Structure 1
């Protein structure tokens, strides 16, 4: 089929596609809500089978819900992996304040952008091949995790397994202005605990070792690890400590958000954070956390894949651009 025929096909399906997006968005599925996750997984499974494509569906049940692996158009070649997730950041009930609606030609609702519209488009790709009697050049695997928004603690192993077996991976979580993400920072999350000695602030202050003060002394040593010129950011984002106004705090903690563009920077930051030493010898430090996601570096292979996508987009008179982002993702 040529570009005009493909466009004509999707123009005829526009109303149906919008209806499908509305349906999946109306099924609220916040992270850590297993019941909600399984409801949206039910919808996806039903919709996938309705595409008419030859496929198999694997559901992996975990504490937070169900991961889905859909395999279509099997063959000997390595598959194209379409990657996404079904969980959102919106608690159940949010759609009452933010209902699904069309305004100024745009569809709004909880989780539409991140990333339930992407889920529908994956299924539309399967439907297209089935409806037109054509086959993709490679098998297609769709992987939808249920815990991407909270770090992919159970989904990560599944993502890595499918990615290793794939020829290419297309992540359907969009970026602003429709640009393709060809690079993404990695992330690390840490909690620094200070364990001090409690004491009455008025009667025996000399016997106390202030955990909050120790955290405060550590913060400059944490922030100095940043190197903005090469894309490394380090931020202390929350801080908690103490029990009451007149007691020297025994415990305090802060959370640290780290973003980096290369694995070497990830290793540098990780090593430095673990080497932090207390300035008050009566206080001990404990670091919890690690590198959560590696960076997606803009490699030659990624550039070639983008250029291929850009050339295809040009056939549809669409100018496809790229960008690099700091947000985390399974991709």
Structure 2
């Protein structure tokens, strides 16, 4: 019996798994913290060289300058069929340059499975290498393949401040978008919370804390009232969390504080909750009328849900997974956000979490299971083969 194309792709991915892992480790060994522009530029060029080495020169490429952020690189490889797929991933990490030297590698799993560890290996350099290899495997299999546009951005971890319009433009031109972020323990991510980083600025009245405290109006006291009230706006049962992570204020211990600021991380699961949080934070009053409170509503990413356009894409991914021999391809809704949020908000088909299987994102010792690399690579390769024709909802 002749093996199915997906089974053949999976077997081939297993044969070259050591090469895929080599590419993953090559990317990990070059640190690309979000705020180190020279390191990001080198990492961007390394990623391009890897794509060219495995796939040849792209038919179209463009570097979109990021300004104070890492650049966004788009590489388009023309296919042999009408479809067009965007493969999206970020090459920046949360880890500052120098982290690798002191990295502590985790022990093997209790079940004896090997782990590969390093800054950014899970989030999300494994996904980048797997994405490149998925197109390589699909092309070498001889099946019709769609046009593929890779989008590699260097600012996802700090909000995709410069890359968002490029992501949206690429997604609009493609039939579907696959985001190569890590899985949720093997599950595809079909739901992500919307995120906001609100800046709260409080202006009070300075006075001598010993001689004339009554003449002052403490910005710090008022900000403390605001922070407590803001925490009460959270609704964990609805997926809404509010965390004040940073506070600054005042000039000296013997001065009634004339200023104070706070940075507040907000996560919501729906547009309705986003609207509610906006309204309730604006309605918070502080006890001293002489104090002014200004809230900058900086929503970074809209909530992501499985929209109608994405449901057929999920069905297709599940078909490919079954042909690989998997019993199921689970889905998950997670608290973190990604660039998939932008695509879903446009009503376009997108799946996220198509990358690594492992754990520990943003944590010392983040890791991937190397024995999952072939199947994950082949899953995306199989999807590319199925998307040679435009997806019909």
TM over 0.5: yes
Q: Deviations over 1:50-69 (max 9, x none)?
A: 22456322212222232111
Structure 1 unmatched runs, 5+: none
For 1:149, what is the secondary structure of its paired residue?
helix
* 2:273 matches 1:270: no
Contact 1:182/1:303 (CA < 8 Å) preserved in 2?
A: no
- In structure 1, how many angstroms separate the alpha carbons of the residues matched to 2:104 and 2:60? 33
Give TM-score scaled by structure 1 length. Answer: 0.93
- In structure 2, how many angstroms separate the alpha carbons of the residues matched to 1:52 and 1:99? 34
Once the two structures are TM-superposed, the CA of residue 261 in structure 1 deviates from its matched residue by 1.3
Which structure's relative contact order is higher, taking Cα pairs within 8 Å and 6+ residues apart?
A: 2
Matching of residues 194-209 of structure 1 within 5 Å: 194-209=202-217
For 1:188, what is the secondary structure of its paired residue?
strand
Once the two structures are TM-superposed, the CA of residue 124 in structure 1 deviates from its matched residue by 0.4
Q: Deviations over 1:96-155 (max 9, x none)?
A: 11278995422111111000011101110221133233332x321111111000011101
Aligned residues: 330
Q: Deviations over 1:200-259 (max 9, x none)?
A: 111111111011111122223322322222212222222222222221111112221111
Higher strand share: 1
For 1:58, what is the secondary structure of its paired residue?
strand
Contact 1:99/1:110 (CA < 8 Å) preserved in 2?
A: no
Deviation >6 Å, runs of 4+ = 99-102
Match in the other structure for 2:89: 84
- In structure 1, how many angstroms separate the alpha carbons of the residues matched to 2:49 and 2:74? 13
Matching of residues 13-92 of structure 1 within 5 Å: 13-52=16-55, 55-63=59-67, 64-74=69-79, 77=82, 79-92=84-97
Which of these residues, 306, 311, 322, is aligned with residue 319 of structure 2? 311
Contact 2:199/2:298 (CA < 8 Å) preserved in 1?
A: no
Match in the other structure for 1:172: 180
- In structure 2, how many angstroms separate the alpha carbons of the residues matched to 1:256 and 1:203? 34
Contact 1:181/1:322 (CA < 8 Å) preserved in 2?
A: yes
Q: Evaluate the alpha carbon distance shift between residue 75 and residue 164 of structure 1 in structure 2; reply closer, same or farther with a 3 A threshold.
A: farther
* 2:337 matches 1:328: yes
For 1:51, what is the secondary structure of its paired residue?
helix
Q: Evaluate the alpha carbon distance shift between residue 102 and residue 45 of structure 1 in structure 2; reply closer, same or farther with a 3 A threshold.
A: farther
- In structure 1, how many angstroms separate the alpha carbons of the residues matched to 2:329 and 2:164? 29
For 2:46, what is the secondary structure of its paired residue?
helix
Matching of residues 167-316 of structure 1 within 5 Å: 167-316=175-324
Which of these residues, 120, 124, 134, is aligned with residue 125 of structure 1? 134
- In structure 2, how many angstroms separate the alpha carbons of the residues matched to 1:232 and 1:16? 42
Q: Evaluate the alpha carbon distance shift between residue 269 and residue 57 of structure 1 in structure 2; reply closer, same or farther with a 3 A threshold.
A: same
The alignment yields a C-alpha RMSD, in angstroms, of 2.1
Q: Deviations over 1:277-328 (max 9, x none)?
A: 4431211112224111001112233333222212211111123211000101
Which of these residues, 136, 144, 149, is aligned with residue 157 of structure 2? 149
Moved more, 175-184 or 142-151: 175-184
Give TM-score scaled by structure 2 length. Answer: 0.79
For 2:65, what is the secondary structure of its paired residue?
strand
